[in-house]
Amino acid sequence: MQIVACQMDIAWENKPANYERARAMLGGAQVEPGALVVLPEMFATGFSMNVAATAEPEGGPTERFLATLAKEYQCFVMGGVTTQALHGRGRNEAIIHGPEGILLARYAKLHPFSFAGEDKYFEPGRGIELFEWHDFRVSPLVCYDLRFPEAFRQAARQGAELLTVIANWPQPRESHWLALLRARAIENQAYVVGVNRVGDDPHVHYGGHSLILGPRGETLAEGGTDPQVLVADVQLQTLVDYRQKFPALSDIRPDFFPT
């Protein structure tokens, strides 16, 4: 099955411009029906704390845009959106639509990035989400979640075979991004798709280097520092065979690490 990762340069707080950028990137790619298309965290606005300007109700314009893309390409589309929470705060979410344009899953980032003050403006999510993509069980996570392996382990213990990380990950900590993505794939014997942005916002430079990794941590596709579309094929049987051949997950100690 085909993974399509869109490493975008995001226009700051400009939703129409970013919709067009995403559409143009997909228009230049050969997206197969049934593919999983992944756009970055907050792809429509950039990593903005201006919740009043960026947040939408559920079913808002960004969600409708993603649903339209999914129907047009007859594929599964994941992207980051800011939705409205209580008391003026937002939720940093990954949402997924299927080929009929129907919402399949809505995941809120478990770990707001307190180093940048995200915790002051966004409420944390409350749990892992999974959705079905063909025969795969997929768990979406967001950016700073990558530093918390227990979230990924919980997803794997709930049956996830593919873990996605949509991000606005700054270039100064790029080495951490690359190392942690590979670690999450190796320790969970899972496919991992990390989709970062490139370019600049008013505060930070982003270096891209999106990755699609196999369950041994092997590189299936890697981005550079420019906007680009990464494509890779993933096979569930490859993962199943590897987990059976080297059944490390069966040695998890649930008495030390409860679900």
Q: Which domain holds residue 50?
A: 2-251
CA dist 6 and 23 (Å) reads: 10
Taking the C-alpha atoms of residue 106 and residue 58, their distance in angstroms, rounded to an integer, is 10
Predicted TM-score (pTM) of the model is 0.97
For the chain, how many structural domains are there in total?
A: 1
> What percentage of the chain carries pLDDT values higher than 90?
96
Residue 84 has pLDDT above 70, yes or no: yes
pLDDT for res 86: 86
Tokens standing for residue 107: 């995941």
Q: Is residue 180 part of a domain?
A: yes
Q: How many angstroms separate the CA atoms of 99 and 73, rounded?
A: 7
In 3-state terms the chain splits into helix, strand, coil percentages (rounded to 5) of 35, 30, 40
- Residue 173 CA from chain centroid, whole number: 18
Quick check: is 257 in a domain?
Answer: no
Report the C-alpha gap between 187 and 194 in whole angstroms: 16
Could you give phi then psi for residue 121, rounded to 5 degrees? -115, -15
The verdict on residue 189 lying in a domain is: yes
Banded pLDDT at 254 (limits 50, 70, 90): confident
Residue 259 reports pLDDT greater than 70: no
Q: What spatial distance separates the first Cα and last Cα of the chain, rounded to whole Å?
A: 30
**The pairing of beta strand 103-108 with beta strand 90-97:** antiparallel
- Does residue 258 fall inside a structural domain? no
Provide the token pair at 123.
Answer: 């409420």
Angle, in degrees to the nearest 10, between helices 61-73 and 15-27: 10
Domain presence at residue 61: yes
Q: The dihedral of CA 208, 210, 216, 218: what is its sign?
A: negative
Q: What is the mean pLDDT of the chain?
A: 97
What whole-number distance in Å separates Cα of residue 177 and Cα of residue 222? 12
- Band of residue 98 on the pLDDT scale cut at 50, 70, 90: very high
Residue 69's SS3 state is helix
Residue 218 pLDDT: 98
Residue 218: Cβ-neighbour burial (10 angstroms; 0-12, 13-18, 19+): exposed
Catalytic residue list? 41, 109, 143
Asked if the structure places residue 32 within a domain, the reply is yes
Give the H or E element holding residue 191. Answer: strand 191-195
In CATH, what number is assigned to the domain containing residue 200?
3.60.110.10
Q: Which residues contact 250 (CB under 8 A, 6 or more apart)?
A: none
Q: Is residue 256 part of a domain?
A: no
Residues β-bridged to residue 170? 206
Separation CA 170–CA 174 (nearest Å): 7
